[in-house]
Protein backbone atom coordinates (compact mmCIF):
# COMPACT_ATOMS: atom_id res chain seq x y z
CA UNK A 1 0.00 0.00 0.00
CA UNK A 2 1.35 3.41 -0.93
CA UNK A 3 1.63 6.12 1.66
CA UNK A 4 -0.28 9.32 0.90
CA UNK A 5 3.05 11.06 0.26
CA UNK A 6 3.67 8.57 -2.58
CA UNK A 7 0.31 9.19 -4.26
CA UNK A 8 -0.02 11.23 -7.45
CA UNK A 9 -0.56 14.98 -6.87
CA UNK A 10 -4.19 14.73 -8.06
CA UNK A 11 -5.06 12.28 -5.29
CA UNK A 12 -3.22 14.32 -2.67
CA UNK A 13 -5.10 17.40 -3.84
CA UNK A 14 -8.45 15.60 -3.58
CA UNK A 15 -7.79 14.46 0.00
CA UNK A 16 -6.53 17.91 0.97
CA UNK A 17 -9.71 19.48 -0.41
CA UNK A 18 -12.01 17.04 1.42
CA UNK A 19 -10.25 17.02 4.80
CA UNK A 20 -11.48 20.34 6.28
CA UNK A 21 -15.17 19.52 5.78
CA UNK A 22 -15.22 15.71 5.93
CA UNK A 23 -16.48 15.31 9.51
CA UNK A 24 -19.16 17.97 9.14
CA UNK A 25 -20.37 16.55 5.83
CA UNK A 26 -20.36 13.01 7.25
CA UNK A 27 -22.49 14.23 10.16
CA UNK A 28 -24.99 15.94 7.85
CA UNK A 29 -25.24 13.11 5.33
CA UNK A 30 -25.71 10.47 8.04
CA UNK A 31 -28.38 12.62 9.77
CA UNK A 32 -26.29 12.59 12.94
CA UNK A 33 -25.98 8.80 13.10
CA UNK A 34 -22.19 9.04 12.86
CA UNK A 35 -22.07 10.08 16.51
CA UNK A 36 -24.10 7.03 17.53
CA UNK A 37 -21.83 4.76 15.47
CA UNK A 38 -18.71 6.17 17.11
CA UNK A 39 -20.25 5.93 20.58
CA UNK A 40 -21.30 2.32 19.97
CA UNK A 41 -17.83 1.42 18.67
CA UNK A 42 -16.21 2.94 21.76
CA UNK A 43 -18.62 1.09 24.06
CA UNK A 44 -17.83 -2.21 22.33
CA UNK A 45 -14.09 -1.58 22.55
CA UNK A 46 -14.30 -0.91 26.28
CA UNK A 47 -15.56 -4.49 26.72
CA UNK A 48 -12.44 -5.85 24.96
CA UNK A 49 -9.72 -4.10 26.97
CA UNK A 50 -6.29 -5.61 26.65
CA UNK A 51 -6.74 -6.75 23.06
CA UNK A 52 -5.37 -5.44 19.80
CA UNK A 53 -7.47 -3.05 17.72
CA UNK A 54 -7.08 -2.80 13.95
CA UNK A 55 -8.54 0.37 12.41
CA UNK A 56 -9.44 -0.34 8.78
CA UNK A 57 -10.91 2.50 6.75
CA UNK A 58 -12.69 3.93 9.75
CA UNK A 59 -12.01 7.46 8.70
Note the pLDDT tens digit of each residue in 26-42.
899 999 999 999 899 88
Domain boundaries, the chain: 4-46
DSSP letter, residue 21: G
Binning pLDDT at 50, 70 and 90, where does residue 15 land?
A: confident
6 three-class SS: helix
Q: How far apart are CA 58 and CA 42, in angstroms?
A: 13
Q: What pLDDT was estimated at residue 11?
A: 84
**Alpha-helical regions (H) of the chain:** 9-18, 22-29, 33-46
Q: What pLDDT was estimated at residue 40?
A: 92
Q: How far apart are CA 58 and CA 7, in angstroms?
A: 20
Amino acid sequence: MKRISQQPPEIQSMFNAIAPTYDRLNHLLSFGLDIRWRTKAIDLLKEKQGGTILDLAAG
